[in-house]
Amino acid sequence: MMQVPIITLDSILLLLAIGVLLWGFERYRSRFVKSDLFAAVIFAGGLLAMAFAPGLFGILGGALDIQQRPLVMSMAANLGLLTFLLYVSSVVQNVRGDLSELTRNLVVDDAPMTDGGRESIYVVIPAYNEAETIKSVVQSLPDRVRGHYVQPVVVSDGSADNTAERARYNGTIVVEHPLNQGQGGALKTGFEIAQRDGAAVVVTMDGDGQHPVEELDRLVSPIVDGEADYVMGSRHIGQDESGNSIVRQSGIRFFTVLINVLTKADITDCTNGYRAIRGSELDELTLTEERFSAPELIIEARKNGLRIKELPIMIKERQAGETKKPQIGYAVGLTRAILISWLR
């Protein structure tokens, strides 16, 4: 005689917890409502505690017994020290952020004004020690694309060479950060200049010559034609001649899948810096990342309902110099940036 599986209360609570977590996850990645996700996590945690740790409160109560007071006091002291260290770290981060913002404001205020307007495309080029390549990149830009005036903006991000001097060509706006703020910080400076001047479209490209200027027309056309608000170039549906290792390529694909799962996006290349954004939409994006800005931009675009389009492009090999991307902690930094941007 076949035995009928007995469904225990623990199994029911486990299934309920999983269902609640899946509901909260789906609600958040669809509508990005934090309260739904946090409520789901708390409720599911309570269900799991009931199922697998029913004696938890008894253990906590026992820990407070007077015989265990030295242990409790030691734990409280360690908890207090940890809290203090976290507080100090938060203060340092806030001061650093305020200093970076002050620097950007001063740089933007000193940047020369242009006519700007609705018919301008601002090409923001963050550059860190790119003296060997920056001039050729700026010179390669056309004067007009799709009837829009092209205005290059080079942000020399604490460069120790003559990147800024080499970038001064034919009306290019060139500004300098006294201290390196990372690619994200340089992009924010460029974005603020473009917003100040009322740019219709803002393009970002690297200063090392990897992003072919021939793709510029295709990149901005969906925005000019009213078909998209955020256009991304993709080397994975296009052509990649950058020479990235298999490990790096695999990592990019993994993080791309992670962003797609978390945000219901449909992209193939989450770290590509060749993109175009409708100028009027930049105000809607909350940008805080200094080092790992590409995932943050994508997640913010999804959160704010921007129409995203991805196009195949070619990524060339660097014209000169070495990559500035960090080798140690790159995966950790990307993971942190993705999760913080998603939960913010």
- Which CATH number do you get for residue 305? 3.90.550.10
What's the full length of the chain, in residues? Answer: 344
Residues 131 and 217 in one domain: yes
Whether residue 208 is contained in a domain is answered as yes
Phi and psi at 309, nearest 5°, equal -135, 140
Domain assignment of residue 30, given as a range: 9-54
Residues 121 and 269 in one domain: yes
User: Contact, 163 vs 186, CB < 8 A?
Assistant: no
Residues 46 and 165 in one domain: no
Residues 25 and 137 in one domain: no
Q: What is the DSSP string of 84-129?
A: HHHHHHHHHHHHHHHHHHHHHHHHHHHSPP----TTEEEEEEEESS
Structural domain count, the chain? 2
pLDDT at 129: 93
Whether residue 267 is contained in a domain is answered as yes
Work out the mean pLDDT of the chain and round it to a whole number.
83
Whether residue 121 is contained in a domain is answered as yes
Residues 50 and 116 in one domain: no
pLDDT at 303: 93
pLDDT at 1: 47
Domain boundary among 35, 54, 73: 54
Place of tokens 């945690």: 45
Residues 48 and 160 in one domain: no
Whether residue 68 is contained in a domain is answered as no
List, for the chain, all residue ranges whose pLDDT scores fall below the cut of 70: 1-7, 54-94, 115-118, 241, 243-244, 318-328
Whether residue 1 is contained in a domain is answered as no
Residues 45 and 132 in one domain: no
Whether residue 87 is contained in a domain is answered as no
Beta bridge partners of 312: 234
Whether residue 279 is contained in a domain is answered as yes
Which of 282, 341, 274, 337 lies closest to 311 in space, CA to CA? 274
Residues 180 and 310 in one domain: yes
Residues 253 and 139 in one domain: yes
pLDDT at 65: 57
Whether residue 91 is contained in a domain is answered as no
User: Contact, 332 vs 339, CB < 8 A?
Assistant: no
Q: Distances in Å between the alpha carbon of 131 and those of 208, 287, 293, 319?
A: 9, 27, 23, 11
The Cα diameter of the chain in Å comes to 89
Determine whether 143 is exposed, middle or buried from the number of CB atoms within 10 Å of its CB (0-12, 13-18, 19+).
exposed
Residues 173 and 281 in one domain: yes
